[in-house]
Amino acid sequence: MLTIKAFTFNAFQENTYVIYNEHATAIIIDPGCYEVSEQQVLLDFIETNKLEVKRMLFTHAHIDHVLGAAFIEKKFGLKMEMHELELSVWRAIPSYASNYGFVYQAAEEPDSFLSIQDTIQLGTDILTIIFTPGHSPGSISFYCEAQQFIIAGDVLFFKSIGRTDLAGGNYDTLIQSIKTNLFTLPADTKVYAGHGITTSIGQERTHNPFLQ
């Protein structure tokens, strides 16, 4: 049984997720902690719950989702894992980080990549990977069928969708990703988004103004 803990970090109000099982085995998705105080909040939670963090995964590689990667890498000896198509997105960060006022410290370049054939296993619990490009070219979502939730990054938000005006973004691709790969999931599936509150597939299928 997986437990999901959400944190909201950095100037972009990005949601970072720690997912862990009853044996305190954990993964971190999209560590966006930037300030030392944010890093401490994340670390305190991990230490208080005696979690063993096994992997550092990314829905995509925009700056607000990776600001804490170097910190997690150093703290837990973990390398970043993302879809291969996000590599160029990640490599572009130093070219724009200062425009947003960030002093960016890069983690090591990833050397193994996630694809839709992979599953993320925590003990007996499984997350599958769903390809959801459009907001960025290699956006992926992490889906737990057994518990009906999905970590969807910046693809689908409560009554909104991810922006598509950044490099590699494509509006039609995004809409197609949502309709084909997300809206076909059960209505009760909880959607943990990269920004804002948690929603559900059913709620967005019915009420999301971008998808009617």
Distances (CA, A) of 95 to 63, 65, 100, 169: 11, 16, 11, 17
Subset of 2-41 contacting Zn ion (CB under 5 A): none
Other C-beta atoms closer than 10 Å to the C-beta of 3 total: 13
Closer CB to Zn ion, 62 or 83, in the complex: 62
- E-assigned strand segments in 119-204: 119-122, 125-131, 140-144, 149-153, 156-157, 160-161, 190-193, 199-200
C-alpha–C-alpha distance, residues 184 and 168, integer Å? 25
Nearer to Zn ion, 114 or 122 (CB): 114
Query: Based on CB atoms, which residue is closest to Zn ion, 26 or 156?
Result: 156
Of 55 and 62, nearer to Zn ion (C-beta) is 62
Q: How far is the CB of 61 from Zn ion (least distance, A)?
A: 8
- Amino acid identity for residue 180 in this structure: T
Contact between 195 and Zn ion by CB under 5 A: the answer reads no
- The phi, psi pair for 147, rounded to 5°, reads -110, 5
For the CB of residue 35, give the shortest distance to Zn ion in the complex, in Å: 19
Site for Zn ion in 49-68 (CB under 5 A): 62
CB-wise, 81 or 154, nearer to Zn ion? 154
What is the amino acid identity at position 66?
V
Total binding residues toward Zn ion, as defined by CB under 5 A? 2
- What mask, x for binding Zn ion by CB under 5 A, covers residues 140 to 179? --------------x-------------------------
Cα(212)–Cα(208) distance, rounded to whole angstroms? Answer: 7
Which residues contact Zn ion by CB under 5 A?
62, 154
